[in-house]
Structure 1
């Protein structure tokens, strides 16, 4: 049993508190890598909304519901069950702990103070030392169900996220040929290209072939072909030993004379061998 207490440092109502507690519980379940989950709660409204029996018409409740639904997608099986307050005495006791001073807490109980609602502090910034990129919005949506406030941007994110999967905290692209392609951040793309082009896997392939090779190694980036072509142009050995392009730098253009025979073209032919007869 993991006992966990929350204290809210912001004004809230009962149903929002129930959702905050549910989000904290789901976070604990993910931390211990639970796959099958049974959720018990004494709030009939929250349980019914999670089970899709009631609709969340209030904007705040709808955000909480989307947040919870996003987290629930990471479990293989789950279901929510409503229980009476008499069956929920342990949780009620924990809620009384949250109203007391922090120093009075037993050491066996985890304690957290929330300064702002969870739905308002969704972090789209990459971890420390990691540059934020295209992966972060998709990962946040798959983890929490977050969507941008702009309806058009939210629709675009839903379409993009449907092509990806979240497996143990990592983003994978679904592929038709290879089951899953691990998505790479920009710095990792540079490292993968260098490994395949110059190091142990070196073949000094062209841009498109190099990008296909990275894909066969089960890695993915939406700009892989462009990055591979740019990397090949920076390779010193490729520039030194590549075939020389002998095509003219510009397309040939015709010169139109103002009047017939204003310009003559002449070539020197011969001598021709004399044919018999």
Structure 2
């Protein structure tokens, strides 16, 4: 690789770069470009008008609302074969030249500097302002968002709002743009009211009884435990012991919303109060289980065979809720495509349709 010494500068405090003057204060407009606009006479043909617009566009970053200022010029360009240089064109031209007599300096914002919102945006709700800030960042930093994994930390329930099926107006537009960028927004502190999953199992053998449990957080962290029971127990008693141990673990972590999966139909029906506990030992276990379930604000007990064929729903719901995806690229792409047909409302997964969400 070779460097052209006439196009290189090292250790300088200021210099010309891509037509602009760059120094310690920021980026300034080139005086040659300003002079070219100032000395341009009113155009007499469409070609001259196009040249003038090209010169002004090069300085667009230094002209406030510059597309509005150029509107009279573009209206004239629509006319065929004639150049109708109007009073509005001349007025806009003079205004641009006056603005360029003292052009602003482009500089990076200072940390802690207060930034102002235009009047309409000051009336946005906090969640709308957060969505607007995220959308603006995604637009300005588009190359970085596409080249690197980006996680957005926010104290607003942004993920839930942007996945609502009844979004309208600007929030719907921002949700579509942010969905395209596929960048997850995470809460600064996980909400304790998100669903946790507890999978339990118990077994009784001649060599002894034991229970196993798997507690999974809404963000995917897993905690496994295997416990050996120090007393003889039947299979159903072991299932109850597994639920009790799992509930103790969940309550110790201040879990308030819990789904429990067990493969014992009898135990599940007891807890759901669909069956009565006729056996004295079963009634005693049920009496111990009820207070623990009551301590959690919401607790669902589900039979494991009810999950069969619904794992794909859990995967899609998990992606919409926490953006968790399989590691394999093909499976990841498949889930992304499938998720566009569904929406999460509360904790329930619905299929999108033209008339509204379908359960």
The alignment's TM-score, normalised by the length of structure 2, stands at: 0.23
- Greater relative CO (CA pairs within 8 A, separation 6+): 1
